[in-house]
A and B are shown apart, each in its own frame.
Chain A
């Protein structure tokens, strides 16, 4: 249980630190495969929590940490479903991913996201559940959901609000633009900016530092310092589902998956 190699996610202890590697082609899109592996990981988390005080989440995909929700899968499943099945399916998925992310957020482990390349949408939401984000200087962060007529649905808005000022939240959401690691650090979202290719090394050094402290004290500090905005997270699910019901969303999804545009990731 403390070691596993999955289709999307693998984990184990490396130098006394739990390391969770994302490796789903093309860029760790969060759909069924990633969610199922995250749920398997969640079952293993209590075992890891007895063995270590720190966890690093990182990607071995060269494109980046995660490009976000698997929109192609979402579109394909939506086409096969009735309207009611589509909406119920989305709500069910959101409830499952929220359970995973809330559990990771609440873990007594000090969690560190090591981010390189793109960290967009659901990928950004996954990183924000971690206590610290270490970012490669070339990493980029974005919440592009408004381009599809949606909002972040995996807890992004409440977690953004937890970590940064409202003007930054508005900027990211209402423009859908991506920001670089330096900007993300100045906004309070990234703890450390590492040289190119160095984020994982810096994350490991940070984890080694964290492990020097008494685990119970670290866990109590985290619980006190980092509230989990459960009410707002539930409200976000409701708002997402309301928006998802609009016809413009299916049209936005269709355009994204069918585009021959060389630039689908630009706003």
Chain B
């Protein structure tokens, strides 16, 4: 099973690739709305991609108030 660090790393890789930002510029504590320059509709798109990638279902109310990659990773980790 993935560790939290692995999950976080995969999220950062996926986000960088999909939203076309340099992976080296992303870190777990970053605000993903600001770093990826996305709005809530695009955040839902990210959510779909993460659900597909990890094979989990993550209700969007679980990411309400979440804006950093690390906390997002803990939400996903709890579903693995």
Q: List residues of chain A with CB under 8 Å of any chain B CB.
A: 27, 63-64, 67, 117-118, 137-140, 175-183, 261-267
Pair B39/A177 contact, Cβ less than 8 Å: no
* Assembled-state Cα–Cα distance A179/B47 (Å): 10
A66–B36 alpha-carbon span in the complex (Å): 24
Contacts of A182 in B (CB 8 A): 51-52
Name 17 A/B residue pairs within 8 A (Cβ), A-sorted.
A27-B41, A63-B41, A64-B41, A67-B41, A118-B41, A138-B48, A138-B52, A175-B59, A178-B44, A178-B47, A180-B57, A182-B52, A261-B40, A262-B40, A263-B40, A265-B43, A267-B64
Contact B61 A175 (CB under 8 A): yes
Chain B interface residues toward A at CB < 8 A: 33, 39-41, 43-45, 47-49, 51-52, 57, 59-61, 63-64
Q: How far is the CA of A176 from the CA of B45 in the complex (A)?
A: 17
Across-interface contacts of A181 in B (CB, < 8 A): 48
Chain B interface, >50% SS class? helix
Quick one: which of B45, B49, B63 contacts A117, CB cutoff 8 A? Answer: B45
Other than the given A63-B41, A67-B41, A265-B43, 13 more pairs (CB < 8 A) read A137-B52, A138-B45, A138-B48, A138-B49, A177-B61, A180-B51, A182-B51, A182-B52, A183-B57, A266-B60, A266-B61, A266-B63, A267-B60
Please give, as numbers and ranges, the residues of chain B lying within 8 Å of A265 by CB-CB distance. 40-41, 43-44
Chain B positions within 8 Å of A118 at CB level = 41, 44
> Which residue of A67, A138, A178, A262 is within 8 Å of B33 (Cβ)?
A262
**Contact (Cβ within 8 A) B61 A267:** yes
Q: Measured between alpha carbons, how far is A266 from B47 in the docked complex, in Å?
A: 11
A7–B59 CA distance with the chains assembled, in angstroms: 35
Min C-beta distance of A178 to chain B, whole Å: 5
- B45 nearest in chain A by CB position: A138
Q: Which residue of B lies closest to A265 (CB)?
A: B40
- Which A residue sits closest to B42, measured CB to CB? A63
Complex interface: chain A residues within 8 A of B60 (CB): 177-178, 266-267
**Chain B residues in 8 Å Cβ range of A176:** 61
A263 smallest CB distance to B (angstroms) = 4
* A88 CB to nearest B CB, Å: 33
Task: Assess the A266–B64 pair: CB atoms within 8 A.
Answer: yes
In the A-B complex, the 4 residue pairs with the closest CB atoms: A263-B40, A265-B40, A267-B61, A138-B48
